[in-house]
Structure 1
Amino acid sequence: MRFSARVAVGVLAPMGAMLALGLWGLDRGAMWRDESATYLVARRTLPEIWRLLGTVDAVHGLYYLLMHGVLAASRGLAAPVGDTETLLRAPSLLAAVGTAGLVAALGHRLTGRARVGLWAGLLYAATPIVSHYAQEGRPYALVATGAAAATLLLVRAAERHTAGGWAGYGAVAAVTVLLNACAALLLAAHAATLALARAPRRTWRGWAAAAGGVVAVLAPLLLVSAGQADQVAWIAEPRYPQVKALLYGFAGPSGLVLAVNLALMGVALARPLPPATPLPLPAVALPLALVPPLLLFAASQQEALFHPRYVFFALAGVPLLAAAGAEWVASRMAWRRPVALVGAAAIGLAFLWQFPLHQRERALSSRADNLAAAAAELGRVTRPGDAVLYAPAYERRLALAYPRPVAHLRDVALQAPGPPSGTLYGREVGPRELARRLAPLDRVWLVSEPGPPHGPKPTALTARGFRPGPSLCLADGKLTLYVRQERP
């Protein structure tokens, strides 16, 4: 790929757009449950993180180690949580900026046309779901960066056929799958790319050696995480609504934008541009966009794992195809000089059309819960001497993420905190010890999931003479005051 000012603009403009969009609303003022897990783990010591990964969430181990370094380097361990929220999201934002540039570089390298790269990168940055993961303290934006980088290295390795090229591809792919094991589906997409491009045997040999190394690196993580399947037990078996939502998230989500995108993608497949590399753009972009979601959907018929976050990295194939289709249309026009700017302006219009969706992504309501508000509400309604029970134990995350408002409450079920116990939310006492601790208490607040309280902890309260009193609804939970009846 020959460097020029046009190429530089074609790569840097999408990166600048993504940076601006990512900074807009980055500080939402609160963490949600998944981000709180990142915060709670990343601020532990390295031995404590290692102990945790042996019992839970090993699949995110590399990401937690990375975030541990980020927090330590920024001295965030001693900073107020409010200052840490934005810091938790900064690596994801930078990753999204990098991915926009990589998508642009891919578009140019595969076609030899700078404006294809420009349009593909801008389309990627303007997609609302990209901002969602760019502003989240979780690994999915980083996985997307790794996938885009590995795809670019695949194209380069297929051109040059050097051992170093395949080693670089394998190294980047290995780091990517260690950030999230579902990224291993990228290897299947790349295999489909080589098949569609009718790659020669030496290309297959280089790819197979690199892919084998990636699988060898991933295998121990899969063995450990297989025993931690409860972490994803909440995911339901996918059906048509989940597939439709993914389609709109990748190529929409506005109906008009979806229609235009699909039309341009159809043009790219029906009228492919002359390739500038041994791997044509459709052979790279179509498997990238389709193979990982389709394989995950098929696998989820046996064990449900289908969720947009796990195949978010596949989105990069969509703007590549749409930009290639737009280039074919533009090449048929007589007025060619301002076409790059016209295309960029059209993407700007698509962004404005979807502006309410971008606003929604930056609202607190875009996430499942608001731990800061929940902790503040619990602190407001309670008084010194009150106790609290978290049912189930993971509801304790609000107190761990935002401890200050609830510091006056006694956590009556906690036996050992999370770091020394090797758990996320701490180890709790058994039923007999819980009953003993409840005996001298008169007021206990139950923090539970929405709906009528159920489970052993509400039962333990009623068995000890407590009766439910006032309740308050939270964004994704419920506070109920249990008051002891008059003692005999």
Structure 2
Amino acid sequence: MVSRETEADGRFRALAVGLPTALMLALGLWGIDRGGIWRDEAVTFQVARRSVPEIWRLLHGVDAVHGLYYLLMHTVLALRPGEVVLRLPSVGGAAAAAGLVAALGMRLAGPRVGLWAGLLYAVTPLAGHYAQEGRSYALVGAGVAGATLLLVRAMDGGRTWLAYTGVVGLTCLLHELAVLMLCAHAVTLAASRAGRRVWARWAGAVVGTGLMLLPLVLASRAQAGQVEWLPEPGLGSVERLLRGFVIAPKGLVFETGVVLMLAGLAARGVAAVALPLMTVPPGLLMLVSQVRPMYDDRYVLYSLAGAPLLIAAGADRLADWIVGRMPYVPLAGALAVLVAFLHHLPLHRQDRAPDRRPDNLAAVSALAAGQIRRGDPVLFVPSIGRRAAVAYPEGFRQARDIALREPGPDSGTLYGRETGAGELRRRLAEVDRVWVVAEPYTLRSDWRPRNPVERAKITVVWEDFVPRAQYVRGGVTLRLYERRPTTVLPLTGPPRRGRW
């Protein structure tokens, strides 16, 4: 017969996993409909709605690293394409990650550490931010947390090596840079003084993962130019990542989190798993990026799982020292997390506002719909500005894309292929007015595109047209240009804003 104590312990363990999962799910769904998607989500939205052969063709030229995610989202958006459905897999991934962090903490240090760690993960603004992004990062976070839990079970003698290999491989296929978790796991094995048998089985898992990833690695190496825009990370990147990992980016809550994290280092079992997970992937990627920049905070979002584990372990040791293992301590810790969340509730609200992302393509499309007349030519500067028309074509339905030669799905590209510079000049010579959809950086006086078509756009518009109206919406500028009267001499200098 099962004792009452065993039943109570089982209920508490279920609560320790279920409560963080439910909380993260609720926070992920809160404000999920922001009224528009931004540029990165727009890529997911437009690619996932293509046919599987069209997606496959695209991946040969660009975004191979996101191939599995696009195929997954193709299935999801086939049910009902829309902004909310686009983000639901990320909400589910974040909720799963919170539950897995709780399960990992419970495995390493007991139910109350698991409960606190899972709750801390759920209320961290960084987790909430990516829970509402139509990209793969929240799902990758869940995969890494799950793989780490399977590793810990395998180290304790569990038969989870095959599952570990499969989860690691699938997670890395969702995003290639998740492979750095293996380096963190190697440090965990070393810190835990794992035996030769464990090392041998882990090495077999690494080989299996490598075989799964080999085609993706070869394809993504040829597409490395996609991340040329990334800057070289410095100390500011380290500080920003730390502040993002520790519950809240500033104030007393952040400082308390850092103190508890340092205290958690004394819990060797937790620290051996959490500290490498938190530090090794970001550290290695930042180090490599000193030679070849490829670091971005979101690429190592999965390392966030280590921070709440350390903080919860530190709080556990502090609670033992002050009051011991009293029955009310787990509830008190949960209430402390709730207070920290309420203290930084304005940050969570701000993150759910439409203007918290770099752009809002729905707003751009709505602006175009209200201004562009039937048959008006539209020029996107640069060509990636076409993403608003691709994501929300209703606003540009009356317009004529004057530079486009072949649409994205037909050409195997994200935004289509444009005509040559000479043909573009000929087309522009036949119109008396043109709408320009311009990204903010193209209006700077120091912007000098290397692409001859982009140079032709700004040169012809500057030389042959004059601005008549300007609107700014959703992080994009919409300008109306009309042909310069022959009686008006060209201006001797650029306009006050930008070169054209």
Same fold (TM over 0.5): yes
Aligned partner letter, 1:133: Y
Contact 2:425–2:456 (CA under 8 A) maintained in structure 1: no
Contact 1:161–1:203 (CA under 8 A) maintained in structure 2: no
Measure the CA separation in 2 of the matches of 1:420 and 1:304: 32
Measure the CA separation in 2 of the matches of 1:443 and 1:228: 37
Could you say what secondary structure the match of 1:302 adopts? coil
Q: What corresponds to 1:268 in structure 2?
A: 264
Q: Runs of 5+ in structure 2 lacking a partner?
A: 1-5, 448-454, 488-500
Deviation of 1:292 after TM superposition, in Å, equals 0.6
Contact 1:254–1:354 (CA under 8 A) maintained in structure 2: no
CA distance 1:452–1:258, shift in 2 (3 Å): closer
Contact 1:182–1:310 (CA under 8 A) maintained in structure 2: yes
Aligned partner letter, 1:311: V
Measure the CA separation in 2 of the matches of 1:75 and 1:477: 28
Deviation of 1:198 after TM superposition, in Å, equals 0.7
Deviation of 1:379 after TM superposition, in Å, equals 2.1
Q: What corresponds to 1:468 in structure 2?
A: 467
Instruction: Pick one of 339, 349, 353 that aligns with 1:363.
Output: 353
Could you say what secondary structure the match of 1:67 adopts? helix
Q: What corresponds to 1:338 in structure 2?
A: 328
Q: What corresponds to 1:88 in structure 2?
A: 86
Deviation of 1:18 after TM superposition, in Å, equals 0.7
Aligned partner letter, 1:4: G
Measure the CA separation in 1 of the matches of 2:411 and 2:256: 53
Measure the CA separation in 1 of the matches of 2:359 and 2:107: 42
Give the percent of matched residue pairs that are identical in Structure 1 and Structure 2.
Answer: 52
Asked if residue 48 in structure 1 is aligned to residue 91 in structure 2, the reply is no
Contact 2:466–2:482 (CA under 8 A) maintained in structure 1: yes
Aligned partner letter, 1:322: I
Instruction: Pick one of 244, 267, 282 that aligns with 1:293.
Output: 282
Deviation of 1:436 after TM superposition, in Å, equals 2.3
Aligned partner letter, 1:296: L
Deviation of 1:462 after TM superposition, in Å, equals 4.1
What is the count of residue pairs matched by the alignment? 469
Measure the CA separation in 2 of the matches of 1:55 and 1:319: 39
Q: What corresponds to 1:242 in structure 2?
A: 237
Residues 189-238 of structure 1: CA distance to partner in whole angstroms, max 9, x if unpaired?
00000011111111100101101111222222121111212322221111
Measure the CA separation in 2 of the matches of 1:456 and 1:228: 26
Could you say what secondary structure the match of 1:297 adopts? helix
Q: What corresponds to 2:498 in structure 1?
A: none
Q: What corresponds to 2:18 in structure 1?
A: 12
Deviation of 1:40 after TM superposition, in Å, equals 0.5
Structural RMSD (CA): 1.7
Aligned partner letter, 1:242: S
For 1:273-422, list aligned pairs within 5 A.
280-334=269-323, 336-422=326-412
Asked if residue 222 in structure 1 is aligned to residue 195 in structure 2, the reply is no
Deviation of 1:452 after TM superposition, in Å, equals 4.2
Deviation of 1:438 after TM superposition, in Å, equals 1.8
TM-score by length of 1: 0.93
Contact 1:444–1:481 (CA under 8 A) maintained in structure 2: yes
Q: 466-475 vs 128-137, which deviates more?
A: 466-475
Deviation of 1:161 after TM superposition, in Å, equals 5.5
Q: What corresponds to 1:190 in structure 2?
A: 185
Q: What corresponds to 1:432 in structure 2?
A: 422
Could you say what secondary structure the match of 2:322 adopts? coil
Measure the CA separation in 2 of the matches of 1:404 and 1:102: 41
Residues 25-55 of structure 1: CA distance to partner in whole angstroms, max 9, x if unpaired?
0110100000000000000000000000001
Asked if residue 102 in structure 1 is aligned to residue 100 in structure 2, the reply is yes
Asked if residue 256 in structure 1 is aligned to residue 262 in structure 2, the reply is no
Q: What corresponds to 1:276 in structure 2?
A: none
Measure the CA separation in 2 of the matches of 1:457 and 1:370: 24
Q: 3-12 vs 349-358, which deviates more?
A: 3-12
Aligned partner letter, 2:403: A
Aligned partner letter, 1:293: P
Deviation of 1:382 after TM superposition, in Å, equals 2.1
Deviation of 1:480 after TM superposition, in Å, equals 2.0
Could you say what secondary structure the match of 2:70 adopts? helix
Deviation of 1:410 after TM superposition, in Å, equals 0.4
Q: 373-382 vs 124-133, which deviates more?
A: 373-382
Q: What corresponds to 1:64 in structure 2?
A: 70
Deviation of 1:461 after TM superposition, in Å, equals 3.1
Deviation of 1:385 after TM superposition, in Å, equals 2.9
Higher relative contact order (CA 8 A, sep 6+): 1
Measure the CA separation in 1 of the matches of 2:225 and 2:357: 21
Residues 388-441 of structure 1: CA distance to partner in whole angstroms, max 9, x if unpaired?
001111100001111112211100011111001000001111112212222321
Residues 426-460 of structure 1: CA distance to partner in whole angstroms, max 9, x if unpaired?
11111122122223211101111212486321213
Q: What corresponds to 1:457 in structure 2?
A: 457
Could you say what secondary structure the match of 2:467 adopts? strand
Could you say what secondary structure the match of 2:265 adopts? helix
Contact 1:27–1:86 (CA under 8 A) maintained in structure 2: yes
Q: What corresponds to 1:481 in structure 2?
A: 480
Deviation of 1:487 after TM superposition, in Å, equals 6.5
Residues 368-390 of structure 1: CA distance to partner in whole angstroms, max 9, x if unpaired?
10101111112222222311001
Measure the CA separation in 1 of the matches of 2:32 and 2:71: 22
Contact 2:66–2:175 (CA under 8 A) maintained in structure 1: yes
Q: 369-378 vs 46-55, which deviates more?
A: 369-378
Asked if residue 444 in structure 1 is aligned to residue 434 in structure 2, the reply is yes
Deviation of 1:60 after TM superposition, in Å, equals 0.2
Q: What corresponds to 2:135 in structure 1?
A: 138
Measure the CA separation in 1 of the matches of 2:315 and 2:241: 23
Could you say what secondary structure the match of 1:388 adopts? strand
Deviation of 1:342 after TM superposition, in Å, equals 0.3
Deviation of 1:179 after TM superposition, in Å, equals 0.6
Residues 309-360 of structure 1: CA distance to partner in whole angstroms, max 9, x if unpaired?
0000000000011111111111223361100110000000100111111111
Contact 1:232–1:305 (CA under 8 A) maintained in structure 2: yes
Q: What corresponds to 2:203 in structure 1?
A: 208
Q: 256-265 vs 178-187, which deviates more?
A: 256-265
Could you say what secondary structure the match of 2:349 adopts? helix
Q: 310-319 vs 445-454, which deviates more?
A: 445-454
Measure the CA separation in 2 of the matches of 1:434 and 1:59: 33
Q: What corresponds to 1:231 in structure 2?
A: 226
CA distance 1:452–1:326, shift in 2 (3 Å): closer
Aligned partner letter, 2:386: R
Could you say what secondary structure the match of 1:160 adopts? coil
Measure the CA separation in 1 of the matches of 2:317 and 2:209: 36
